[in-house]
Amino acid sequence: MMIFNKTIDKLSIIENKTVYILAVTLVTLVAALTYPFCCYGETCSNHLCRIINSRPIFGIVLPSSPTSIGFYLSKLKLIHSYNVGRMTFYYGKLYHISVVISVPPPIGDFSYVSIDTYLLEKLFDPKFIVDPGTAGSHVSFLSMGDVLIGARIVNYTNYMTSRRGRIQPGEFSSLVTDDEGYTLGNPNPVYLYSDPDLVNLAYTAALQVAKYTPAHILHSIAGRRPWIVKYGTQGSGTIWFRDPTQIKQNSSIFHEDDEAGDFPIALIPTENKIPFVEIHTISDSALNVPTKIGKYFHLCSVFAQNRSNKIVVRMIKMVAHGYRIVSTFAGGLEDPYSNNIRNKLIPPKYIYKWTMENGIKR
């Protein structure tokens, strides 16, 4: 059975939106290309140069939902905003560290996230890219409030099928042979990798921030200390899975631990050789609690995004107080983790014990 056959019914809807999305995307790109890059305070006519006096250390790409830009604006000092098309960027200081933040518009699937990330990098030239967000669990013991550091990122909608419907990860990976016109080596890699120093920083910050998840968030009779996964596989795609059978089938192929929509936030920094990391707190787990868009889902989403945001703020605070990040680019297309990333996560003993005692269907 094909995993993604449900998407076929949506093709007519997608087709009707295609012209609009492409048109707005083109306008945004043309607008971006008319702006000169920033020269950080040098005398010139560029408005961007006049509002920015130092290169941002962190570029933060927020999800469009749940809305959390106010969380950062309440903490930033010397805030300036800058608009390009439908994109808005906020520049300021947090613990005396220069930060630039963006929130891609909630349309266009990967398209707007890609453009937004590209503009953030080319206009502001941050040293590091951080993606704090929420995600749906694809691992039975990984539940609401748990934190996954995306050391490895996979686009599970990048695939080829056999004539019988078998999924082959990487749309062109099976075509990499000289006689078919390709240079040896995969032109369409399955996995991208976060920077190890940023993963270490994010993990340390998460341990300091995420201490306890209450029972009502876990949909349980008891709360617990969250599971913080240091070497997680962040799944990403333009499909939102809510069927446990499809989730299990998909994760057996791509080995993702959760799902979100942030593959472009890994892809663009990889192309521009900027260190990046993705930090996602679990907001829903269809393997445990049926995912229904309602008050409980919204409550968990806000809780999860707030936890991810607090981790990023702690990361910035640690850097401001002397935590040193080696700024050489690592990760991207190359795996720097020496087999630390597992295709199947093994829960800590306290997570396993809590799960068995609280009787949630796993």
Q: What is the pLDDT of residues 231-264, one digit of tens each?
A: 999 988 777 777 777 778 877 778 888 888 789 9
Q: What integer pLDDT is reported at residue 99 of this predicted model? A: 97
Q: What integer pLDDT is reported at residue 15 of this predicted model? A: 43
Q: What integer pLDDT is reported at residue 357 of this predicted model? A: 84
pLDDT at 272 over 80: yes
| 284-296 average pLDDT score | 80
| 201-229 average pLDDT score | 95
Other CB atoms within 10 Å distance of the CB of residue 243: 13
| Segment among 27-36, 120-129, 137-146 with least mean pLDDT | 27-36
Give pTM, 2 decimals.
0.83
- Residue 196 — pLDDT band, cuts 50, 70, 90? very high
Q: Show the domains of the chain with their CATH numbers.
A: 9-126 (no CATH), 131-362 (3.40.50.1580)
CA atoms within a 13 Å half-sphere pointing along the CA-CB vector of 184: 0
Q: What integer pLDDT is reported at residue 300 of this predicted model? A: 92
Average pLDDT, the chain: 81
CA distances from 112 to 17, 99, 238 (A): 14, 21, 13
d(CA 334, CA 270): 10
* Residue whose token pair is 């005692």: 357
Q: What integer pLDDT is reported at residue 6 of this predicted model? A: 42
- Calculate Rg over the CA atoms of the chain: 21
Give the pLDDT confidence of 303-342 residue by residue, as tens digits.
999 999 999 999 999 999 999 998 678 889 889 998 888 8
In sign, the C-alpha dihedral spanning 239, 243, 247, 249 is negative
d(CA 52, CA 245): 50
Q: Note whether 268 and 114 are within 8 A (CB).
A: yes
- Residue 285 — pLDDT band, cuts 50, 70, 90? confident
Which residues, in sequence order, are bridge partners of residue 16?
A: none
Residue, of 282 and 358, whose pLDDT is higher: 282
d(CA 98, CA 91): 7
Percent of the chain exceeding pLDDT 70 equals 77
